[in-house]
Amino acid sequence: MLTINQLSKSYGSNLALNQFTYSFDHGIYALLGPNGSGKSTLMNIVTQNLKSDNGEILLDDTPIGKLGASYREKLGFMPQYPGMYPSFSALDFLRYMAVLKGLNKKKADKQIDELLHAVELHDVRTHRIGSFSGGMKQRLALAQSLLGDPEIVILDEPTAGLDPKQRIAIRNYIASVALNKTVIIATHVVSDVEFIAREAIMLKKGVISDSGSPYELTQKIEGQVWQTVVAAEEVQAMQEKFRVVNIQNGERGVILRILSDVQPTEDSVTVVPSLEDYYLYVFGDIL
Ligand code: ADP
Ligand code: MG
Question: Of 44, 71, 39, 82, which Cα lies nearest the Cα of 206?
Answer: 39
Question: Coil, helix or strand for 246?
Answer: strand
Which helix (H) or strand (E) is 2 found in, with range? strand 2-11
Which helix (H) or strand (E) is 3 found in, with range? strand 2-11
From atom 20 of ligand 1, which residue's Cα is the shortest distance away?
Answer: 41
Residue of 7, 8, 9, 14 best suited for mutating to test ligand 1, as the one with most atoms within 8 Å of CB: 14
Q: Verify whether ligand 1 is closer than 6 Å to residue 38 (CB atom).
A: yes
Q: Are 187 and 262 in contact (CB under 8 A)?
A: no
Q: Nearest 5°: phi and psi at 15?
A: -80, 100
Q: Verify whether ligand 1 is closer than 6 Å to residue 236 (CB atom).
A: no
Q: Verify whether ligand 1 is closer than 6 Å to residue 36 (CB atom).
A: yes
Round to whole Å and give the CA distance between 151 and 132. 29
Q: Are 27 and 198 in contact (CB under 8 A)?
A: yes
Residue of 17, 18, 40, 157 best suited for mutating to test ligand 1, as the one with most atoms within 8 Å of CB: 40
Q: Nearest 5°: phi and psi at 153?
A: -120, 125
**How would you write 83-99 as a 3-class SS string?**
CCCCCCEHHHHHHHHHH
> Of the ligands numbered here, which is closest to the C-alpha atom of 36?
1
Q: Is the pTM of this model over 0.85?
A: yes
> Cα dihedral angle (175, 181, 185, 189), rounded to 10 degrees?
20
Burial (0-12, 13-18, 19+ Cβ within 10 Å), 285 = exposed
Partner residues linked to 183 by β-bridges: 28, 153
Question: Over its length of 287 residues, how does the chain's per-residue pLDDT go in tens digits?
Answer: 999 999 999 999 999 999 999 999 999 999 999 999 999 999 999 999 999 999 999 999 999 999 999 999 999 999 998 888 999 999 999 999 999 999 999 999 999 999 999 999 999 999 999 999 988 999 999 999 999 999 999 999 999 888 888 899 889 989 999 988 999 999 989 999 999 999 999 999 999 999 999 999 999 999 999 999 999 999 999 999 999 999 999 999 999 999 999 999 999 999 999 999 999 999 986 55
